[in-house]
Structure 1
Amino acid sequence: MKISTFGFLTRRGVLNLGKHWAMTIACIASLSVCMTLNAFASLIEVNVDSMVSYLGSQNEMVVYVDPEADDATIQSVGNALSGTAGVSRVQYMSKEDVLNQYKGYMSDYAALLNEFENDNPFKANYRVSLSDLSQMETISKQFENISGVYSVTAPIEMTKTFVKVQQAVTKVGRGLVLVLMAVSIITVGTTIRLSVFARRREIEIMKYVGATNALVTLPFVIEGLTMGLLSGILTAAATIGGYAYIVQLSPTLGGLWQMLMGTALVPLENVWPTILIYSLAGGALVGGLGSMFSIRKHLNV
């Protein structure tokens, strides 16, 4: 196909948007709504993953060292913990560190703990954070078998709850994305189908005089791509603007929100490039697919 022919057909496809302007506006609006819901569903999934990771970092495993262990044994326990696959952070707490920590917790009654200075009842321990909370039960059992470990305390049941919530949100989010993607393709396809039906005689004549499928199809594909890109721009603007407002509002929310999210809310600068790229690419893909599926049956004359 010549460049001039391609340019002519591209201009024709863009101009076709104005011939059914009411349906075009309705299509762009409905497609934008579907894609915006898709984008926010994805953002919820990303933030739930971040929330689970944040809560996981707050719920550490505590590995207590045998009270009779010498310095070499304590060091070997630390090396074994750090070398375990799935461990993201290991922090050693000596008996004195634990005592001072409790003094900080009970600052108004710290004097009551002074008597433990010469007879410290606490055990030295390692605070361990994991990169994958679903592995906490398995890894805690591995830690119990390390020589020099006295006991292991891990919030396994709480962690299982977090993981179940994460998995449920992921499944629902991905299902919603698939459903809305199908609705978007049908929406674009319906608009293109009306345009094709109004010009079915023109298409038949073009086919009879020898026009190739590419020449007939290209204007409609360009029409769908243009609607998809316009929807993508609106989607990106609405999603980025809405998420920026949520991030800005987040510090003013207290109670349960701060307990669950804390600093876990993903910053806007980390997600807006992805939102923009996927909105434009998703809009173009949906528009193009909707157009091709709608015109295909009219090419056989």
Structure 2
Amino acid sequence: MMRPSTFFFLIRRGIRNLGKHWAMTFVCILSLSVCMTLNTFASLAEVNVDSMVNYLGSQNETVVYLDPECDDATAQAVGEKLAAMPGVTNVQFVSKQDVLNTYRNYMEDYSSLWDEFENDNPFKANYRVSIADLSQMESMSKQMQAIQGVYSVTAPVEMTNVFVQVQRSVTKVGRGIVLVLMVVSIITVGSTIRLSVFARRREIEIMKYVGATNGLVTLPFVVEGLAMGLISGVLTAAISLGGYSYMVQASDGLGGVWEMIMGQALVPVSAVWSTIIPYSLIGGAVVGGLGSMFSIRKHLNV
């Protein structure tokens, strides 16, 4: 079993190796930071697209029109059945009078024209239904249509399918980019450590010949990789949060179409910083450690 003094000695040695090979260390940290920053922004793009799709989905409610001949008890029963359906997040009743008042407000200059409909209201009472999973809108619309007392169901199925396809495509592309950049990051760290190992291959061979265990030889290099990964993680978190904060502030002034699409600015920094910081630090440490272990493994067989 390794003594504590030996363990801390090897850790200090791994940290000192960063300075001995400062040029390679700098290149590795810079390369890893770039890869991880791109990774982070790919993930942020995915988060914001999810937010956009969810917002647009909440604005495209399914409208369930009631049969004009149904009584109050039937209308109430329809509402209860709609609310009990799995995946339904909100059900709002809109009476015939509410619909008439809405149109009256839209055309305030011609509101007198709508007085004729007060005693002969042509509109239908309806329920506005919000669905959690937009991909289920089409199938759920058919279930709603089958409820007794329902006259018709209007749902923006085609538009919703477009939103869902965009969301899925961005998710696939984002995850693909994350995977590729993660592999590139491991290779980058591994290449740097491999050069360091190659420069000290004679030293490693001598250590193995005099009886040093694989753990004694490997630990300094793993510490070196972990240190580079953690430094890269700190840089990644700082760059990502700084750049994203600027983007959020810039998006506040876009207004117009942007607000119509997103409903707000980008997802606020306060909602993502608690994920970005640990992701950057843990991701950097894991990539650095794995890159080191893969690089030194073949040099241990002496």
TM-score by length of 1: 0.98
Aligned to 1:280: 281
The match for 1:117 is: 118
CA contact (8 A) 2:100 2:121 kept: yes
Report the counterpart of residue 149 of structure 2 in structure 1. Answer: 148
Q: Distance in 2 between matches of 1:16 and 1:169?
A: 41
Match in the other structure for 2:18: 17
Paired with 2:97 and 2:169, the residues of 1 have a C-alpha distance of 43
Query: How big is each residue's C-alpha offset from its partner over 1:228-280, in whole Å with a ceiling of 9 and x where there is no partner?
Result: 00000000011111111122222201343222112273221111011001100
Structure 2 residue identity aligned to 1:151:
S
Confirm or deny: 8 A CA contact 1:64 1:150 kept in the other structure: yes
For 1:27 and 1:253, how far apart are their aligned partners in 2?
38
CA deviations 1:278-297 (Å, max 9, x no partner) are: 10000000000000000000
The separation in 1 between residues aligned to 2:145 and 2:41, in whole angstroms, is 42
Does the 8 Å CA contact 1:63/1:149 hold for their aligned counterparts?
Answer: yes
Contact 1:206/1:216 (<8 A) preserved: yes
Q: Is the 8 A contact 2:248 2:265 kept in 1?
A: no
Deviation at 1:106, TM superposition (A): 1.8
CA deviation after TM superposition for structure 1 residue 40, in Å? 0.6
Residues of 2 paired with 1:230 and 1:281: CA distance? Answer: 11
Relative distance call for 1:40 and 1:236 in structure 2 (3 A) is same
- Residue 101 of structure 1 corresponds to which residue in structure 2? 102
AA matched with 1:74: A
Residues 160-206 of structure 1: per-residue CA shift (max 9 Å, x gap): 00000000000000000000000000000011001000000000000
Secondary structure, counterpart of 1:152 in structure 2: strand
Q: Secondary structure at the match of 2:45?
A: helix
Q: Secondary structure at the match of 1:252?
A: coil
1:69 matched to which residue of 2? Answer: 70
Contact 1:189 1:294 in 2 (8 A): yes
Within 2, Cα distance between the matches of 1:22 and 1:294?
18
User: Which ranges of structure 1 fall in alignment gaps of 5 or more residues?
Assistant: none
Tell me, yes or no, if the aligned pair for 1:65 and 1:150 is still in contact at 8 Å: yes
Which ranges of structure 2 fall in alignment gaps of 5 or more residues?
none
Kept in 1, the 8 Å contact 2:233–2:284? The answer is: yes
Q: Please report the TM-score for the alignment, with normalisation by the length of structure 2.
A: 0.98
Residue type at the aligned position of 2:138: E
1:110-189 to 2 correspondences below 5 Å: 110-189=111-190
Letter in 2 for 1:292: M
Counterpart CA distance in 1 for 2:258 and 2:23 is: 43
Residue matched to 2:241: 240
1:44 is matched by which residue type in structure 2? A
Is contact 1:65-1:74 (8 Å) kept?
yes
Aligned length: 301
Alignment correspondent of 2:199: 198
Q: CA deviation at 1:11?
A: 0.6
Q: Does 1:298 align with 2:284?
A: no
Give the letter for the 2:91 counterpart: V
Q: Does 1:26 align with 2:24?
A: no
Q: Which 4+ residue blocks in structure 1 deviate beyond 6 angstroms? A: none
% identical aligned pairs: 74
1:261 corresponds to which residue? 262
Q: Distance in 2 between matches of 1:144 and 1:240?
A: 47
Q: Deviations over 1:132-155 (max 9, x none)?
A: 000000000000000100000000
Q: Secondary structure at the match of 1:69?
A: coil
> C-alpha distance in 2, partners of 1:105/1:7?
75
Alignment-derived partner of residue 210 in structure 1: 211
Let me know the Cα RMSD of the aligned residues.
0.9
Amino acid at match of 1:252: G
For residue 57 of structure 1, what is the amino acid of its counterpart?
S
